[in-house]
């Protein structure tokens, strides 16, 4: 396949993200309509959670590596998680990795990288990087997901929004 099928990247990326969440002991629901939320991650009552906990997730799947900030997601503040699922269907050596950030965490990185000063962001409310620099990768490292990291993030965000 010479050109990546974007629908296939989206489907496989979503399935990979669902698998990561399920492996972390987090249940997943898919909204019937896409209005800015791709998945809802939730935890039933268990040893760590005293009441039902749910967090909306917007997924950005890429066969390579892409980081995007978009002002349209501010309406879901404070607990929308933007999951960057990289390396989907990668045939050119891009590592499969998932980063998960809130809009506020994404904007903090955008400020540190200078993206929030660009005309693309200030005038259009959107900024995308398709070739992340080593500095950007380093800033994203604390947001790299594992089973433990997913559970901690979902629990922390749900407690913060109560």
The domain that holds 28 is classified in CATH as 3.40.1350
What range does the domain containing 16 cover?
6-160
Is 1 a member of any domain? no
Question: Cα torsion for 105, 108, 113, 114, to the nearest 10°?
Answer: 140
Is 69 a member of any domain? yes
In the numeric block, the tokens 């998945």 are attached to 39
pLDDT digits (tens, 9 = 90+) for 48-105: 767 788 899 999 999 889 999 999 988 887 889 999 999 998 766 668 899 999 999 9
Is 142 a member of any domain? yes
Q: Which of 7, 47, 44, 41 has its CA nearest to residue 145?
A: 41
Is 34 a member of any domain? yes
Q: What ranges make up the beta strands (E) of the chain? A: 27-29, 39-43, 53-62, 67-70, 81-86, 97-102, 126-129
pLDDT digits (tens, 9 = 90+) for 104-132: 999 999 999 999 999 999 999 999 999 99
**Two structure tokens written together for 86:** 């990289």
Domain count, the chain: 1
**pTM of the predicted model, to two decimals?**
0.90
Q: At a CB cut-off of 8 Å and minimum separation 6, what does 153 contact?
A: 55, 81, 100, 145
């Amino acid at each position: 396949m010479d050109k990546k099928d974007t629908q296939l990247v989206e489907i496989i990326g979503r399935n990979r993200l669902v698998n990561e969440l399920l492996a972390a002991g987090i249940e997943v629901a898919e909204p019937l309509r896409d209005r800015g939320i791709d998945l809802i991650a939730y935890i039933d009552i268990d040893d760590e959670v005293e009441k039902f906990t749910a967090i909306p997730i917007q997924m950005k799947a890429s066969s390579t590596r892409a980081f995007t900030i978009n002002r349209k997601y501010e309406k879901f503040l404070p607990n929308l998680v933007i999951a960057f699922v990289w390396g989907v269907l990668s045939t050119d050596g891009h590592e499969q990795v998932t980063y998960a950030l809130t809009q506020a965490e994404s904007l903090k990185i955008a400020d540190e990288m200078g993206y929030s000063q660009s005309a693309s962001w200030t005038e259009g409310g959107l900024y995308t990087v398709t070739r992340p620099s080593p500095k950007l990768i380093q800033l994203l490292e604390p947001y790299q997901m594992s089973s433990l990291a997913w559970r901690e993030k979902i629990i922390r965000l749900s407690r913060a929004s109560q």
